Structure 1
Amino acid sequence: MKHFIALIFLMTTTILVGQKTDYNTSKGYVAEGYDVVSYLTNKYPLEGKNKLTTTFNGVKFKFSSEKNFNLFKENPKKYIPQYGGYCAYAMGKKGEKVAIDPENFEIRGGKLYLFYNSWINNTLKSWQQEGAEKLKKQADINWLRVNQ
């Protein structure tokens, strides 16, 4: 119940203040230049092309095809990664903005979640092993707090 009340308070505060999202724009683009539409329409993400870019909410996105570019323009919020494109596990576990590996991802409930991955630490596996739904709920709360 405490988390629910905190979430409602933070959401209300965010709406009233007109919060602007802090996006992870490593390499100059959200998702490190990978096509955010491709995550939801393919079985694997595709790298975007320099000639197919757009700006939304003040940040740049790349696309692998004209079709994906147009799908994004029709409904950008559908394709934007959760937590501004930062590691979902780190946001849920510690409320921290951590870099990602754009090829380490999960689609959950039609939303894109990105994760950090190195040879010793794959946070997608930790996310799944420790309970994705619980971590997602905490990440939602943490994101509202750290994105102020």
Structure 2
Amino acid sequence: MTLTRRHFLTTTMAFTAVSFLAGHALADTSSIYAEDGVALGGTDVVAYFTQGQPVAGSAEITQEWQGVTWRFASADNKAAFAADPSRYAPQYGRYCAYAVSEGYTASTTPEAWRIVDDKLYLNYSIGVQQRWAQDIPGRIAAADANWPSLRE
């Protein structure tokens, strides 16, 4: 079969469009770490800000955002999240802030958390969080620099 210029251009354009759309479809979920499609194992992210602790969310009170399900302990928390999800969502897609500062990703536990400058940061464990807390501004700066390449 002879490849004509028209066939080549059509094929190239189709491939580019499919690649672009596939990349954008994956982008919604690739940056949020969620086990079984549920963010934070079902922990209510708004509760960190309002109650100062991790609180289990309800399977009946949920919101879809960034391709995953977020659970909430109350309708008020769900409404707050729905109004401004990026305000409550953990930094670095819920991956460990310490790990991201080191250039890799790791899962987190709801108990290892801290709010800094009105942003939620999670860590792999309480022990890792203690290491992260030794230089929070430096760790956040390093993680912010590393995150764009890790989220893809």
TM range (shorter): 0.7 to 0.9
Amino acid in structure 1 at the alignment position of 2:121: Y
1:27 Cα deviation after fit: 4.5
1:102 Cα deviation after fit: 0.9
Specify the structure having the higher radius of gyration (Cα): 2
Q: Name the structure, 1 or 2, with higher relative contact order (CA <8 Å, separation 6+).
A: 1
Deviations along 1:50-88, whole A, 9 cap, x unmatched?
000110121110000111011111111110100000000
Residue number in structure 1 paired with 2:99: 90
Gaps of 5+ in 2: 1-22
Distance 1:128 1:22 in 2: 23
Residue number in structure 2 paired with 1:142: 146
CA contact (8 A) 2:97 2:143 kept: yes
Aligned length: 127
Distance 2:147 2:74 in 1: 31
- State the superposition RMSD in angstroms: 1.6
Aligned counterpart in structure 2 of residue 47 of structure 1, from 34, 45, 56: 56
CA contact (8 A) 1:27 1:33 kept: no
**With structure 1 as the length reference, what TM-score do the two structures score?**
0.80
**With structure 2 as the length reference, what TM-score do the two structures score?**
0.78
Residue number in structure 1 paired with 2:107: 99
Q: What secondary structure is seen at the aligned counterpart in 2 of 1:46?
A: coil
Gaps of 5+ in 1: 1-16
Amino acid in structure 2 at the alignment position of 1:133: P
CA contact (8 A) 2:32 2:66 kept: no
Amino acid in structure 2 at the alignment position of 1:77: S
Distance 2:38 2:112 in 1: 17
Amino acid in structure 1 at the alignment position of 2:130: K
Aligned counterpart in structure 2 of residue 58 of structure 1, from 64, 67, 70: 67
Q: What secondary structure is seen at the aligned counterpart in 1 of 2:147?
A: helix
CA contact (8 A) 1:116 1:123 kept: yes
1:26 Cα deviation after fit: 2.2
Q: What secondary structure is seen at the aligned counterpart in 1 of 2:110?
A: strand
